[in-house]
């Protein structure tokens, strides 16, 4: 195919972003991959890659203009609500079309025992009862909030070894990037005698195993809803992103933007 004159900024940090980067690189679409740089061992990408925040909405607007970005694709994790909100605002201000590429949220199935809460603070409040053994499948950034409920034993699973002291007194720590299987997560829940699973509604396949394992064992799940993001165009497949790019590039963005 011929590659239109476009220049994409792909906000990454999710398996969707990595899958899309591969396809864009294979098809020769000019694109830059952007990482926040939260983890030390960043997976290499087949696209030119930048690392670090932009400096809020203003910084992102500046980046879009300075680098003559014609298309912004937000494929960040569904719980990265701040950068996704910034992307909506910056795209509006810079006049750059924005598409969010996300995975659909999980929905409960027969046999699930979910209690759904709107955010992390509500999840912490919901754990105010007597001591339990809890699988806290959240990542280390949210952990400080749970210091308010020190009575529980927490099973933690991080992608890399933490450098800081953990803020909960009683925990077991596993370092594993996944993806995980139903069998291994069920074995884990049994081995650590878990009473309840706390999960973000991230969606996708890699992290679903713990929910299936919890259903099989009849365990309750405290499910945290996604953060709210302003309205934006959103798709759930690489094919839909490619359709959007093809459609948008036909609208001659360089002409519209005076590039």
Ligand X SMILES: NC(=O)c1ccc[n+]([C@@H]2O[C@H](COP(=O)([O-])OP(=O)(O)OC[C@H]3O[C@@H](n4cnc5c(N)ncnc54)[C@H](OP(=O)(O)O)[C@@H]3O)[C@@H](O)[C@H]2O)c1
Nearer of residues 77 and 152 to ligand X, judged by Cβ: 77
Q: Strand 113-117 and strand 220-224: pairing?
A: parallel
Residues that bind ligand X (CB under 6 A): 11-14, 34-36, 38, 53-56, 59-60, 76-77, 79-83, 86, 139, 200
Nearer of residues 64 and 168 to ligand X, judged by Cβ: 64
User: For the residues of 137-169, what is the DSSP string, one character each?
Assistant: ET-GGGGGGGGG-TTSEEEEEESS--SSPPSSS
Closest CA relative to residue 156, chosen from 203, 121, 194: 194
Nearer of residues 11 and 219 to ligand X, judged by Cβ: 11
Contact (CB, 8 A) for 236 and 230: no
- Angle, alpha carbons 44-163-131 (nearest 5°): 115
Q: How far is the CB of 63 from ligand X (least distance, A)?
A: 9
Q: How far is the CB of 90 from ligand X (least distance, A)?
A: 9
Contact (CB, 8 A) for 30 and 7: yes
Q: How far is the CB of 193 from ligand X (least distance, A)?
A: 26
Nearer of residues 100 and 155 to ligand X, judged by Cβ: 100
Q: How far is the CB of 119 from ligand X (least distance, A)?
A: 12
């Amino acid at each position: 195919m011929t590659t239109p004159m476009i220049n994409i900024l792909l906000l990454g940090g999710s398996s969707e972003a990595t899958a899309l980067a591969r396809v864009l690189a294979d098809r020769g679409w000019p694109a830059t991959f952007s990482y926040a740089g939260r983890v030390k061992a960043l997976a290499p990408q087949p696209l030119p890659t930048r690392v670090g925040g932009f400096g809020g909405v203003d910084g992102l607007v500046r980046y879009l203009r300075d680098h003559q970005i014609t298309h912004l694709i937000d494929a960040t994790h569904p719980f990265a609500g701040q950068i996704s909100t910034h992307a909506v605002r910056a795209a509006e201000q810079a006049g750059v079309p924005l598409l969010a590429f996300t995975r659909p949220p999980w929905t409960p199935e027969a046999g699930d025992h979910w209690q759904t809460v709107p955010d992390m603070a509500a999840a912490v409040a919901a754990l105010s009862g007597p001591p339990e053994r809890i699988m806290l499948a959240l990542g280390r950034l949210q952990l400080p909030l749970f210091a308010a409920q020190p009575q529980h034993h927490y099973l933690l699973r991080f992608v890399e070894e933490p450098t800081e002291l953990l803020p909960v007194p009683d925990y077991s720590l596993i370092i594993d990037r996944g993806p995980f299987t139903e069998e291994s997560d069920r074995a884990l829940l049994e081995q650590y005698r878990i009473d309840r699973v706390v999960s973000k509604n991230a969606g996708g396949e890699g992290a679903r195993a713990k929910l299936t394992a919890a259903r099989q064992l009849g365990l309750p799940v405290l499910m945290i809803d996604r953060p709210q993001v302003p309205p934006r165009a959103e798709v759930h497949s690489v094919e839909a992103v490619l359709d959007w790019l093809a459609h948008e590039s036909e609208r001659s963005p360089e002409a519209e933007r005076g590039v």
